[in-house]
Structure 1
């Protein structure tokens, strides 16, 4: 009688597709994730609908002053708020917790037995987080856009150079702005993955994307060189407003997107490196200790330093705000907005070439150099009308922040820009020349030789 040996079947690892579906179901089944999804799909619609019907508007927010005029202003206001607060918090809740949740629940060994591949676990969790984050961003876009169009209407939008954008043009730029904001969102998500892996069950891992985003906001408000601004992975949350000038300020936007994508790749690779080298047999794991610093934080610091060095060589440092840029921007915006006011008053149309608009701007009453941000800028705008010998003039007080955004506040004469309403044949209407927003490109005006 002979004995027959039967070889036990070898269990193969679970496919990435099955692991992805499993991780996605786990994420969506969490009550806080469900609440966040509902909030992103309903909250912006309620906000835009309520604000658009109020007498007072968020004029301190970019495009907030136009929420009564067009439905395309609403999604841009939401984008500005989301880039500063909502998206960092959302990435913290999703990507910042996707690995740490297993540490808190002590389920790593069960998951490894089921999947049998740390690499596939990482890919599945990263893809599931990405899916949920993209779903949240789509909700913010659709909710704010549909509400704005339904409440206010599909009307033209005034850009940041005073030019009137048609509804179709405005729609394309709004969607492109939100698409560009995905790059810094993914950079924060990658930082969240890294924090979730490196810090384990520590609450700091969950908060890391929000803390990093807050630190970047604080740096952006300081008078730092322009290269430092561009080297931060969140600058694309700011540079999208260059799409609403003519010609579009694409340089800062492309730099911001490129820097964000580099951070996505590096932070995700570091998270993967730490994850596959982790000791899953230790149930009390609270992070990778010194490895989390040397292979997690230190490479990101080096990446930032290298990026800032390259951009410093390209931009030459400085604030990027100078007298010539301010004068050109104010003159261009005034020329476009003057035509809008002319149309309101049923006066003969005057082209920008006929106006020959120019601006003379000083800072600090001419007692300081006309460079850098500040609320002490003053511009005198001059223009000509066909058949009129005397040139017209108007005064503006400017408040320019370190990011290159500014608000021009009309200071007379009253019939031009000194009052927020103009009397038209159809009744009083908002005066487009009273106050307007502008945006300066911080890159050098001419290539360096």
Structure 2
């Protein structure tokens, strides 16, 4: 069994084992899988993608970590000077939006369509004698290649960050400090969780490749679905609809970096992604094995197939929206005044202790600080709920032995998925400047700007 360098199949020697009688037996799935895997990795674009995935993220993280200006508008970007574990998370944020959808388009979106363009279906069926085994082998080969590409993104970005900055603690989304070992485990778990929506897009790509045949649109299906989901996440959708989208796990891993971890949204998002994997793969399988390969004009496109390929995902989306709505008590956007205040106060308390350690001041605990936050929108002119860039919070805390409380002001930009960026607005000695003067020199002020996360599902906070 061989494959040409341009990815086309050479099937004349598919079965050269003298112990196997091809007149009576199907070719084993393992042998077809090896054949399909060789075909994929023989393609120049797959090799180029593999090279890029294993090299480019590391170079990017190393280069950005050495710059004086960091991508502070990107989640964990502001900590790339402080720890090597921030880099893989910055890459994960970019990969979930662009890289992983493009990888699934190139790999899964073309795995069946390539045979239509080359006209090799009948030759392959004569050699393998089983459409079912061909489908399984192609799906497994695509999954293997995607796993190798994702592994490259993780390994390269982590290596670049650790080599440039070092194995230092990581500041979580609620301001608590993760030890290097905890940070490493959480980073790897976040990337593992991102595999679920990646597989969902890959399954959608398989379905598009089967249904659309030689049409180049099959290549674009996963990327178009990913873009549509990103646009949808920017809208003020109800929580149930947001969680029911198969790509929400690209965002929900944020909950791994709070204490305690916000696992509710993440588990629902993973379950939804896996449901899409099962439905899209099963539908692609049924359409593929029922295809008439004896016709030279049948390339998979048919009104009935296209209708089924559209109705099944639409039905699954409606079903998951209903299931999530029943399972989760949250309604509306899931962003309320009480949740924002609680998240801001928690993050400020953790980061205030970090600043205290920087300045060699007497240590304090969160209990002693008694941090509270009072937040509103547009100076009370707008109901304090939902996303928006017009949130304003006044944080109050108490120091032991001090009668007067301390106060600080923050301007908040809260996004639809619950992430917020708090920008300090004074006083200068607390959060008004991006550097603090420490006994060892100037250091980044953790209270100047910080990221946080509002859990969209109902919590103990009312409202």
- Alignment correspondent of 1:169: 182
1:11-40: CA deviations, max 9, x gaps? 311000000000000000000000000000
Query: Is it true that 1:18 corresponds to 2:37 in the alignment?
Result: no
**Partner secondary structure for residue 342 of structure 2:** helix
- Residue 9 of structure 1, CA deviation: 8.1
Alignment equivalent of 1:117, drawn from 126, 130, 137: 130
1:180 matched to 2:193? The reply is yes
Q: 2:324 aligns with which of 285, 308, 311?
A: 311
Q: Which residue number in structure 1 is paired with residue 447 of structure 2?
A: 433
Please report how far the alpha carbon of residue 289 of structure 1 lies from its aligned counterpart in structure 2 after TM superposition.
Answer: 1.3
Q: Distance in 1 between matches of 2:213 and 2:147?
A: 24
8 Å CA contact retained: 2:246, 2:276: yes
Question: Aligned pair count?
Answer: 441
Structure 2 counterpart SS, 1:396:
strand
The alpha-carbon distance between structure 1 residues 15 and 373, as it changes in their structure 2 partners (threshold 3 A), is same
1:394 aligns with 2:414: no
Quote the residue 1:76 is aligned against: 89
Give, in angstroms, the shift of residue 368 of structure 1.
1.4
User: Out of 130, 141, 152, which is 1:128 matched to?
Assistant: 141
Q: What's the TM-score once normalised by structure 2's chain length?
A: 0.94
Q: How does 1:3-402 map to 2 (within 5 A)?
A: 10-313=23-326, 314-402=328-416
2: CA distance, partners of 1:291 / 1:73: 48
Cα RMSD (Å) of the superposition? 1.3
Q: CA deviation at 1:235?
A: 0.5
Alpha carbons of structure 1 residues 21 and 447: separation in structure 2 relative to 1, 3 Å: farther
Aligned counterparts of 1:162 and 1:9: Cα–Cα separation in 2: 63
Contact 1:227 1:315 in 2 (8 A): no
Q: Note closer, same or farther for the CA distance 1:148–1:316 as it changes in structure 2 (3 Å cut).
A: closer
Q: Are 2:339 and 2:461, in contact at CA under 8 Å, matched by a contact in 1? A: no
Partners of 2:48 and 2:457 in 1: how far apart?
Answer: 41
1:284 shift after superposition? 2.6
Counterpart position of 1:4: none
1:71: how far off? 0.1
CA contact (8 A) 2:205 2:222 kept: yes
Alpha-carbon distance in structure 1 between the residues aligned to 2:435 and 2:22: 82
Unaligned runs of 5+ in 1: 1-7
Secondary structure of 1:409's match?
strand
Q: Is contact 2:101-2:222 (8 Å) kept?
A: yes
CA contact (8 A) 1:45 1:144 kept: yes
